[in-house]
Amino acid sequence: MDKLFLKKILRLAFFLFVLYIFQAFVFTRVAVKGVKPLIIPVAAIGVGFFGGGVKGGVFGLFCGILCDAAFDSVPLFVFLLPVLGMFSGLITEYYLIPGLPSYIICSLGGLLVISVFQMFSFVMFKNASLAVVAEAALYQSLYSLIFALLLYWPSRLVSGGRK
Amino acid sequence: MALAAALLTGLTAHSLGGGRGLFSGAVDLLMNPIGRGVAVLADYFESVYGYMFRYDQLKTENESLKGRIAELERQMRDNLSAEEENKRLRELLKLKQKHSDFDLETATVISWGASNWTSTFTISKGKSSGLELNECIITENGYLVGQIIEIGEYTAKARTIIDPSMNIGAMIHRTGIPAVAGGDFEAMRKGNLKLSYIPEGAATANGDVITTSGKGKTVPKGLMIGKIVDAGIDASGTSRYAIIKPAAALNELSQVFVIKSFNVED
């Protein structure tokens, strides 16, 4: 196997490992207004944004597996994150100018999509009030956006750029 | 000469007479400021000397004291921790005396779920310790914490009583009226749960204690769930509900107890 390729994979794996530690063990204890941030999902979107659709999709798949483990969710992220990772790569390739503003827009879009999926079962099957659920979703997205900003440079660094 | 001899005789006589000699007084008067000056200088040079030559000794002593302080602080923390554990065990003893039928397994909370939509945690015991699915988890005071939902060999995942998927047979302790206590998304965000299916005409008041009813046979009867803090009528206007504040401090859980078996009351 190409040494450079292996190095890139190891870098991404290490990045994901660190993110998982923070997501599953650190930020579960640091909730703001009862909300914990989504760190791994924003990294999946970030790697797709800087590395392109293929990298985003593959990295998103691994992120999804770990996210479902950390979030105790029904398999949701394992399907959603590869799509979001790939989509952020493709949209940047064709429609957005790579840079911080586009990255923020892309991350916020992805976070809102995730929130809509998470809200779905509560609104449809558990009679939860839409306003309350939407408020939680908004807080979650905005709080996570702070981490998207913090992950701007690391995501750019580990993604290794587009071919 | 005669004057000097007279002066000397006078001064000597004054000294022998018990008074402070004029010579002594004069010497004192002259030497006092000099003595003080010398003392100040001596102190200064001593401190300079100390700084120059005893610096290493002071540094070592300082480091040793710092180490001692750290050690004492560690001992204090250990003592506090032991005291807390002691308190928990004393409460547990009371609980064991009250519910002699309980077979309890001690476990530690390892981690909390990362999701904003559920309330779950992982404990340090699993199948290898004889735990099974749906067994309930309590605090040392007998307050209900949650129920095991996934089990591994050495760990188990549990949902807390405020998780939106939770439903437990409950009872208003004061009146004995049965109802269902369960999680609700809105209540969960405030750290509470909801009491539903309250029969029409049943009296509820803030502060009413809610306990488990023992219906369903997975949770023993009489465990404290919490106290009513609010009440209302559903949006449909047909059924009443109450908001319960959990008795267990869910945010501060560290050690919990799993009830492996208990006597089922019919």
Per-residue model confidence as pLDDT tens digits over B61-80: 899 999 999 999 988 888 88
Amino acid B19: pLDDT:
47
Geometric angle at alpha carbon B104, from B102 and B107, rounded to 5°: 155
Q: What does the block give as tokens for B104?
A: 């309890």
Rounded to a whole number of angstroms, the distance from the CA of A146 to the nearest CA of chain B is 16
Structural domains in chain B plus CATH codes:
102-261 (2.40.10.340)
- Token pair 């109802």: residue: B179
Is residue A82 very low, low, confident or very high in pLDDT (cuts 50, 70, 90)? Answer: very high
Residues of A in contact with B115 (CB under 8 A): 36, 71-73
Average pLDDT, chain A: 89
Q: Are strands B156-160 and B144-151 parallel, antiparallel or unpaired?
A: antiparallel
- Say if residues A159 and A51 touch (Cβ distance below 8 Å): yes
- Cβ pair A71:B112 closer than 8 A: no
Q: Chain A contact for B184, CB < 8 A?
A: yes
Q: Which domains does chain A have, with CATH numbers?
A: 3-159 (1.10.1760)
Residue B50 identity: G
pTM above 0.80, yes or no: no
Backbone φ and ψ of A39, nearest 5°: -95, -50
B154-166 pLDDT, tens digit per residue, is 999 999 999 999 9
Helix (H), strand (E) at residue B187? helix B185-189
pLDDT tens digits for range A1-54: 688 888 889 999 999 999 999 988 888 877 887 789 999 999 999 999 999 999
CB spacing of B116 vs A72 below 8 angstroms: no
Q: Among A102, A27, A65, A74, which Cα is nearest to B112's?
A: A27
- The residues, any chain, with a CB within 8 Å of residue A116's CB and separated by 6 or more, are A137
User: What does the pLDDT read at residue B22?
Assistant: 56
User: To the nearest 5 percent, what fractions of chain B are helix, strand and coil?
Assistant: 40, 30, 35
- Pick from A133-147, B25-39, B81-95, B113-127: least confident: B25-39
Question: For B202-221, what is the mean pLDDT?
Answer: 86
Q: How far apart are CA A89 and CA A105, in angstroms?
A: 13
The CA distance from B55 to B32, in Å, is: 32
List all residues 6 or more positions away from B87 whose beta carbon is below 8 Å from its beta carbon. Answer: none
ipTM of this complex? 0.85
Query: Under DSSP, is residue A161 helix (H, G, I), strand (E, B) or coil?
Result: coil
Q: Cβ–Cβ contacts within 10 Å for residue B3, how many?
A: 7
- Check CB contact of B157 with chain A, cutoff 8 Å: yes
Best residue in A27, A30, A72 to probe B by mutation, most B CBs within 10 Å?
A: A72
Per the CB < 8 A criterion, the answer to whether B121 and B253 are in contact is yes
Q: Point out the residue among B113, B185, B189 whose CB comes nearest to the CB of A72.
A: B113
Phi, psi angles (nearest 5°) of residue A97:
-90, 120
Distances (CA, A) of B226 to A68, B181, B196, B203, B242: 31, 10, 14, 17, 11
Question: Distance (Å, rounded) from C-alpha B147 to C-alpha B157?
Answer: 9
Q: Are A49 and A106 in contact (CB under 8 A)?
A: yes
Torsion (CA) B47, B48, B49, B51 in degrees, nearest 10 = 80
Kindly state the average pLDDT of the residues A95-111. Answer: 90
Helices (H) and strands (E) in chain B, counts: 4, 12
Region of A53 please: left (phi>0), alpha (psi -120 to 50) or beta: alpha
